[in-house]
Amino acid sequence: MKWGLAMRLEKDCIGEMFISDEVLYGIHTLRAKHNFPITNQRVNPLIIESYLQIKKAAALVNQKAGTLNRKKAALIISACNELLFSKDFQAFIVPAIQGGAGTSTNMNVNEVVARLAMKISAQSGREAIKIHPNDDVNQSQSTNDTYPTAGKMAMLKAIEPLEEKINQLIHVLEQKAMVYSQAVKVGRTQLQDAVPTTFGRSFNAYAAGFKRDLRKLKAVEKQLCQVNLGGTAIGTGLNASQSYEKAIVPALSRIAGIPLTQATDLVDATQNSDAFTSLSGILKGVAVNLSKMCHDLRLLASGPQAGLGEISLPKVQAGSSIMPGKINPVIPEVVNQVAFEVIGKDLTVTMAAESGQLELNAFEPIMFKEILTSEAHLTKAVQTLIDNCLVGLQVNVDRCRDEVNHSSIAATILSPYLGYERTTALIKTSEKTNIPVKHLVENAGLLPKDLVEKLFSTEVLTNTKQVPVSGQKPLMNKRSGSVR
C-alpha cells in the first residue's frame, strides 16, 4: 500500500466515495459530515478521548483473548496512544448532533485509528499491515455499548472541575459569612420588610445549598461509573467472547483511571437513560441555586442611589454607551443566563431520554452534547462569579444597620411583651410619623429603657442571643416554643 496519493476510493453498503488521501477519516465519517449539517460544533473532545481509551482497552483484551492478531493489537494501541498524547483531534469531524445513536462517532474513531495504525506500520518502509475499522478496531464492540460508555466517562471527567469550582464557591461564601457575621440587615419575604437578619446567615444559607449540590454530584458519579461495555448491540454480548466481556471494563478502568464497573443488567444499561437524566437534573439544581443567588446579588446591589444599595459589587466594565459612569452587575447577569441555558438543556435531556424506544435510545447524541455543555458552562460561570464578583463583594454595613434602625418591622420583637395588636399600632404610627418604633416605645414609657435597648440590639433582633431581664416576661424561643 502506498501513501501520498491525492484521492482514494472507499466503499460502504451505500456505494462508493472518493476521499482525500491526506485525511485519516473514511467514508462513514464523511457521509456523517454531509448528512448532519446542523451545527459546526463537533463531538466533545472528552468523548473522543474516552473512545480512544475504549479502543485501546479493547485491542489489549482482544489480543489476550486470542481473537486479534498481536501485531494488529500493538498498532491499534500505538495509534490510540499517539492521539491521546498529542490531543490532535482534528480528524474527528462528526457533528455533535447526529442521527444513528452515535454510530457516526464510533466509526469516525474506528476509521481514524485504523488508518493511523496502518501509517505507523508503514513507517519502517515495509508494506502497511491492513487494519480494518470494523473487524479489527471495533472487534467485540458495538456503538450501543461503546458510545454510552464514552459518554459516561466524558461526563465523569467534566464533573471533577465543576466540583472543584463549587468547593471554591462554598469556601468564598463561608469566608464572607465570617467577615459579615454581625452585619445586620433587613430580612425580606415577598420583597417586603420582614424581620432582621445578618449577611453572615445569608451567605451561609447560599453555601448550604451548594453543599447539597456537591453531595448530589458525588452520588451520581456512582451511577455514571456503571457502564454497559461488553453488552455489544442490545446488552446480550453477541459477537464478544466471554473473556472479553469479563475483562474489558477492568482494563478500561485501569487505562482511564476511572473506577468503572460493568452494569449488572447490560440490557437495562443499554436501553435506559436514567443516569443521564439524574445528572442533568442535578446540574439544573446547581443552575437554579446559582441563579437565585445572582438575582439576590443584583437586587441587593441595585442603585446605587435609588435602589437597595446594601452591597457593592466589583466594577468590572462600563455599563452604558450613553449614560456616563453607569456600572451594571454583568457577572451575576451572565451567570443567570448560563442558568437559563442549563435549565433548558435539562428539558432537552428529559425529552430525549423519555423518547427512547425498545432496546436502545437513539437520542444519546443530543443528551451528551447538552450535558457536557452544561457541565462546561457551569464550571466557567462559577469561576467568573468567584473571581470577578464574590471575592470583591462588600457589604455596606452602615447603610444596612440604618435601614434596620428605621424599619418599623423590627418592632416584631415587641410582640411577646406588648401583644400583636399593640405592636401593630406602634408600627402604623411609626410609618405615619417616620419616628422609629424604638423611640415611640421609649417616649411612651411602655417598657423600661434598658429592656428596650437590649430588645433592639443586633443580637436579639437577629435571634442570635437572648438576655432574660429580671422582672419582665422572658422572650420565647420561636423555634421550640420554650422559654430561654
Catalytic residues: 320
| Residue 76, C-beta contacts closer than 8 angstroms, at least 6 positions apart | 55, 56, 59, 113, 114, 117, 131, 136, 137
Q: What is the number of alpha carbons within 13 Å of residue 114 lying toward its C-beta?
A: 20
DSSP bridge pairs for 95: 42
Of 416, 468, 448, 403, give the one whose Cα is nearest residue 184. Answer: 403
User: Which class for 354: exposed (0-12), middle (13-18), buried (19 or more C-beta within 10 A)?
Assistant: exposed
Which whole-number Å values give the CA distances from 284 to 288, 379, 386, in the listed order? 6, 13, 19
282: left (phi over 0), alpha (psi -120 to 50) or beta: alpha
Cell numbers for 412, please give them.
416584631
153, 255 contact by CB (below 8 A): no
How far is it, in rounded angstroms, from Cα 333 to Cα 384?
11
Peptide bond preceding 304 in cis form (omega within 30 of 0) = yes
* DSSP 8-state assignment for residue 36: -
Cell numbers for 397, please give them.
454595613
Of 441, 444, 434, 429, give the one whose Cα is nearest residue 406. Answer: 434
Which whole-number Å values give the CA distances from 56 to 24, 92, 221, in the listed order? 17, 17, 23
Of 107, 224, 213, give the one whose Cα is nearest residue 154. Answer: 224
User: Which class for 405: exposed (0-12), middle (13-18), buried (19 or more C-beta within 10 A)?
Assistant: middle
Sign of the CA dihedral 123, 126, 132, 137? negative
202, 195 contact by CB (below 8 A): no
3-state secondary structure of 17: strand
Amino acid letter for position 81: N
